[in-house]
Structure formats: structure tokens, C-alpha cells
Structure 1
């Protein structure tokens, strides 16, 4: 059996300027979507979170945030960085791998770092990640989407946001939790307007296809998911809302 804890790392507050969400649409259009959800219309807020999975023999961290409060959250959960045996990476954007390195050294010194082979190749070409790549090189073990990466954890290909973007399906007994990575970002805009471009997506068209296809599937299956940028702790269900979608959180705390 697994024990799963959501760990908070940071929070991003972006201006509603159509440069990230609703690209090609006016801030007024984006503001109407936010207003309908009862959210502020001048900003878009994203949480940055990770998952900690405690198995019988391994302590697995899925993503590492930007290196904000994650270590503090880990300590609050009762663990030290050296307790982590594996770090699974959904993709190589700085808000997911930034916490791999602290003070120029491995933040989780005893952990194997796992990411898809396509994503590792993508990361090594990103000049903004040069220092991180240099530090973790030699500690990364790659896999192909669909691979079982740990006991009860299977990788799921979700490319579009980045070339090697994956999610992780966690199975513990009869219970399941699907970490969908950055398939969706905003619990409001990404669900109300999944066809709107997101500048974070490396492949805008591919990101849109993956977002819509995954949301349709999740609404049909009603499976429990973890969305690392949704309001903490980001655990809940995607539901259909006419021809759109809505978020139904199931937890109000990290565990």
C-alpha cells in the first residue's frame, strides 16, 4: 500500500494580460471567464505542488517545484531530503525540476532521477537549464512512456506541453491517483476554455489536443487526479459542464 501526500512549494500570480492564458483573446474575455468563477479578474493564480509517495520500501517524490517551500513541506511530512529514494519528473520546466538542485548540489542526494528519454533530450537542449542539467547529469535514468517506473506507478505519455511530458498513474490496492502534470494549468481557464492557447506549451496545437482529449477521458472515467497547479492540494475530479469542464476538489489539506 502507498501513502500519498501533496507537498506545497510555491504560488505564482500572473497578470491577466493574455500573454500566458487566452493567447489571442483579450484580457476582457479572460476576465469574463474568471469573473464567472468568482475569481479576481486582473490576475491568474497557480499553485506549484508536488506529490510524495511512500511505499513499502521506497519514498518517491513526483516533481520538485521551483525550489521554494518544498523542503519545508517535506520536513513537515516527517522526512529529510536524503530519505527520498526516487524523483520522478513529469517534464523539465523550471517549476518542476528547479527543486532538484540546492546550492549547486543535488537536493535529494540519494535519489535516482527518472524522466522520459524524450524529455531528458529536450532538457539538455534548453540553455536556461544548463546549471541544473550539469548537476543532475549522471543521476538521470530515462524511460519510455508506458513504462512501470516504480512499484505501483506507471508513466503515461501526455506530450504536447513538452516533447516528453508524462503523467504518472499510481495504483495502491483498489485505489488510484493520476498525476496529470501540466496537462492543464488553471482550474478555471483551462477547464472553461480548453481550446484557448497556453504560451507555456512547447507545442501549442499538441498541448491543446492533449488537454481536450485528457479532460474528456477524465470526465468520463471520473478518476481521481492530482493537478500540480490547481489550488492546493490539487486532488479531485474533472467533471463535464455542458461542453466544458469543471473542477471538483475532494481534499482541503495536503494528506
Structure 2
């Protein structure tokens, strides 16, 4: 057997040390990201859609806000528990969405502003506020318009801003209009139900939650999706109970009638839906269930 020299032995030990150091460096964990990195990207025909999480609320009571029908609380609570949800530990989601048509990037709703995570999750998805060409506001509630303005300036400075004509007129007529709508009142283009926002993207009449609430329809390659805004209500209760309404529905009867129309059409035509407050990422389909409906989450695509 050949005797190994001292010099050769030191070289071998040195190489082993380098390898160990390299492996040790590789084993160092990266800073943790939010579950799912805060965005969900998928295709609809030729378009790319990106649901963005604006975060969640801390756990709290579901009722009466998420089921305001008098005398129905016990029934609603039982339905939540049947679905493994504790009514006193309710967590609310906020799900804006980007529609990338290849020529335009359209943001549907802007989240809660500084209280939310829209901008950080937009960055996680590889986008900057300056990449957004058009902002569409479904309605004037604070958790949808909170991200419009920062430091007195529009957050999405390169974007055209759209909102329903009836909706904007309602809010601006109030004694204390929402500050973000007031700040951008001259920047908004007012639209009506049925208006084309972009090729294959149209505004849908979904009044009831607010007086001029508009959802967004996206159609491409023979597929259709609705971003419901708040017209969808709750992803369990608003499907199982046809008369269910929310504590913040401006016109409960109209909101119930709107949901009935949406569910009937979505189920019959197999239209995909995204709910702003549905369980993350809020993407799925509507299926008949006896005299009511149920929400079926879409298959998660990586």
C-alpha cells in the first residue's frame, strides 16, 4: 500500500472542509414566505388571472355580519360547524384579482390599504403598481377602495380608474364621502352594467350589496369567469340558504335576488367564480344541491 504524504492528506481534509461548508450554506433556510406566497396564478383561455391576497382578519364572531336574517343564527352556526368552522373564530379573506390580457393588466379592487397586504403580494407575483394599466372598483366599501391612495397620491399612477356610475354618484352624495373616492373623483371613468372594460372583460350588474355594485366577467378561449366582488356573500351560507343575506348588504332583498340569478346562471353554464371574501384563493364553481347550491373549489394548479 502506498503511503499517503502529509501534503496529500491535508489537501483531502481541506477539500472535505470546503464540501462541508458548501453543504452547510446550502442547508441554511430561506426567510419564510406567506403560505402560497400570497397569490394564485392560473389561466383562463388566453388570459392569465392572478388572485392576490390582501390578508385576513383576526378570528372573531361571524354573526350578525355574515348572516343577518332574524332568528336564523342557530341554523347558520350549525351549517358552519358542519363544515368544520367555529362561528366565534371566523376569519375573513380579501381577494382582489389581476386580469392579464397580454396587452393590459387590470386590477379588480384594491384591498384595505395599509391594513392589508396587496402591494407586497403584488410584488410576490412579479408585478409593480406601475404595471397596472386599469383599476376596476366593484363598489365603494373601504376594504375594496383602501388601496387606491397613499400619501394623497394614486397608488396605481399609470392606470385608468373605473367604477360604476350609480355607485360613485351614491357615495359622493353622502355627507362624508369616502376619502379615497373623493381624492380620485376626477380620475374615475364612470361605467354602466354591460360596459366593455377591455376585450373579453365586461361589467356585470350585481346591485344589492350596494346600490351600484358591479361584478366583472372575463371571457377567453370559450371559458368564462366572474369576479363577484361582494355579490357572492359567504362561500357556504349564501349558497346553502337561498334567503341568506349579510349585515352589510344595503338592500337585502335585492342582494338575495342577485345571488339567486348569479348562482342559477353559473351552475347552468359552468361559469367559474371568484369571491372576494371566499376562503383563499376563492376560485371555484357553483353546483346545484337540491333547492339550493354549493360552492365547489376549483382544482389547484401549480
- TM (norm. structure 2) is 0.79
Contact kept in structure 2, 1:84 and 1:108, CA below 8 Å = yes
**Equivalent pair of 1:18/1:24 in contact (CA under 8 Å):** no
Query: Counterpart in 1 of 2:81?
Result: 35
Shift of 1:44: 3.1
Instruction: Choose 160-169 or 43-52, whichever is displaced more.
Output: 43-52
* Offset at residue 214 of structure 1 (A): 1.4
Cα deviations across residues 29-57 of structure 1 (Å, max 9, x unaligned)?
Answer: 32111112221132433210111011222
User: Counterpart of 2:53 in 1: which secondary structure?
Assistant: strand
Q: Which residue of 2 aligns with 1:102?
A: 150
2:93 partner SS: strand
Instruction: Check the 8 A contact 1:167/1:178 in 2, yes or no.
Output: yes
C-alpha change, 1:173 and 1:161, in structure 2 (3 Å) is: same
Which residue, 261, 267, 279 being the options, matches 1:219?
A: 267
Contact 2:223 2:271 in 1 (8 A): no
The structure 2 residue matched to 1:177, chosen from 201, 225, 233, is 225
Q: Report the CA distance shift for 1:14/1:128 in structure 2 as closer, same or farther (over 3 A).
A: farther
Distance 1:19 1:62, change over 3 A: closer
- Counterpart CA distance in 1 for 2:69 and 2:54 is 27
Report 1:166-205 matches (<5 A): 166-205=214-253
Flag the 1:157–1:241 CA change in 2: closer, same or farther, 3 A.
same
Give ranges in structure 1 of 5+ residues lacking alignment. Answer: none
CA distance in 2, matches of 1:231, 1:20: 14
For 1:154 and 1:74, the matched residues in 2 are separated by: 23
* Alpha-carbon offset, residue 211 of structure 1: 1.3
Shifted more, 93-102 versus 5-14: the winner is 5-14
For 2:60 and 2:260, locate their aligned partners in 1 and report how far apart those are by CA, in whole Å: 23
Alpha-carbon spacing, 1:170–1:191, altered in 2? closer, same or farther (3 Å): same
Any runs of at least 4 consecutive aligned residues in structure 1 with deviations exceeding 3 A, and if so which? Answer: 126-130
Q: Counterparts of 1:144-183 in structure 2 under 5 Å?
A: 144-183=192-231
Gaps of 5+ in 2: 1-45
1:79 corresponds to which residue?
Answer: 127
Distance 2:239 2:224 in 1: 22
Alignment of 1:15-54 (within 5 A): 15-54=61-100
How many equivalent pairs are there? 254
SS at match of 2:296: strand
Structure possessing the higher radius of gyration over alpha carbons: 2
Larger fraction in strand: 1
In structure 1, the residue corresponding to 2:92 is in which secondary structure? strand
1:175 deviates by 2.4
